[in-house]
Amino acid sequence: MASQIRVISTSNVQTVAARSGDPTPKIELTPWDLQLLLVDPIQKGLLFRKPRASMDSVIHRLKASLSSTLDFFPPLAGRLTFDEYDDGTCSVFVLCNNSGALFVHAAADDFTVSDILQPTYTPRIVHSFFPLNGVRNYKGTSKPLLGVQVTELRDGVFIGCTVNHVVADGTSFWHFFNSWSEISRGSSELSKPPALERWFIDGINRPIRIRLAEAKEKMKFDGHLNSQLRQERVFHFSSEKVAELKAKANAMACSNMISSLQATLTHLWRAIVRNQGTDPEEEVNYRLLIGIRPRMSPPLPQNYFGNALQDGTVSMKAEELLSQDGLGKAALEMNKMVALHTEEKLVSHVRSWMKNPRLLTEHGVAGNALATSSSPRFDVYGNDFGWGKPVAVRSGAGNKRYGKITVFAGAENGSIDMEVSLSYEILEAMAKDSEFMDAVSAASYD
């Protein structure tokens, strides 16, 4: 696959302001940040039709606007730094030292936009459209916290971003991406500057100490995590089908609380379990990441730059999930689980974590549950860098494993795209499952 990518240039992009002698503050990291040290960065990217302007001018504009954007997001131009203590613990900071972000200009000369969008399964080469593949977050001491790769296709451009997950969650990732496109369109200021100060609960000892060396020793990997055993397919749910699923789930549950996303995720969950041939008595699990910015009192700023996520799991027997009213029953359980994440519960979780800090590993994140990341609320299709809106969004290999579902807003208002990572056999069975596919629509790429 690597031979299909031609690297044209590699450069280091720094902020403009910091070059003039600005201080290099340390940013302390929260438990929500620190728990992600051993896993992969966030990798999301956008596919565009080829600009009319020359690629030399496009690359110049992207690098210049990236430098200007980093003025507002100095952590992304920094590095991680570790302070070690005699008892074997360490504390971790982001050092805003303007070491710079990686910028790669590459080409996939034999590929077109259609070659990426038309196949049923996402071509493997898409993973090569992202920089810093295989670099775990804790390596951010020497590796850039932000990597950008601009890959030319014959008739398109893919902009892939890799962001160290210790520094940012999905909300912050897309905040940066939106800001970069805003600057690239000619703005000198941001409509929504980031809030860089991290939030800590009262009364905890800072900086937080962890045992990183011990955690790294315990990292485990499962054979089923091998990427060669998986395929990725994007299922598109139109706004009409999403509305139908929501109405159906709420009617079944005699409720009006179930959201569009909860209903659609449950529809997908049922299809996967049904086509896996799961034993009816087996417990099945679905893991969600829950945004906590609005759940605190007072709420964290929407532009809070960092990690503000908590995971939650819905569990039930397969026969209950697949029962006649299973769509409503499981979607309502999902809704209740999310609602239980009050400020009290979230603060309690942080205090518990502080007593026994636990770093997530790829194996630990996987477990035996399906897991969803990202959100249809993120502004994906508003990222116009000056030559038009993207035609599609795709993710990289980071944190991919069997059963990973990545959710994006569809190009059509109110629609949802779900990028599903499963075995070829299960995905093929789902494609022949009329109950599932009746709610799936063909995506339209303008």
Residues 6+ apart with CB under 8 A from 300: 199, 292, 293, 294, 308
Q: Which string of b and e fits 92-126 if b means at least 16 CB within 10 Å?
A: bbbbbbbbbbbbbbbbbeebebebbbeeeebbebb
- 236 as an active site residue: the answer is no
Residue 390 burial by Cβ neighbours in a 10 Å radius (0-12, 13-18, 19+) = buried
Catalytic residue, candidates 71, 115, 311, 384? 384
Number of helices (H) and strands (E) in the chain: give both, helices first. Answer: 13, 15
- 96 token code pair: 């805003």
- 40 as an active site residue: the answer is no
- Residue 64's alpha-carbon distances to 12, 103, 129, 189, 404, in angstroms, are 12, 11, 21, 14, 35
Q: Measured over all CA atoms, what is the biggest interatomic distance in the chain, rounded to whole angstroms?
A: 66
Catalytic residue, candidates 165, 175, 236, 341? 165
Beta bridge partners of 234: 419
**Which DSSP category does 269 fall into?**
H
Residues 6+ apart with CB under 8 A from 245: 237, 260, 263, 264, 267, 327, 439
Q: Is the dihedral of CA 295, 298, 300, 302 positive or negative?
A: positive
Q: How far apart are CA 361 and CA 35, in angstroms?
A: 9
Catalytic residue annotation: 165, 384
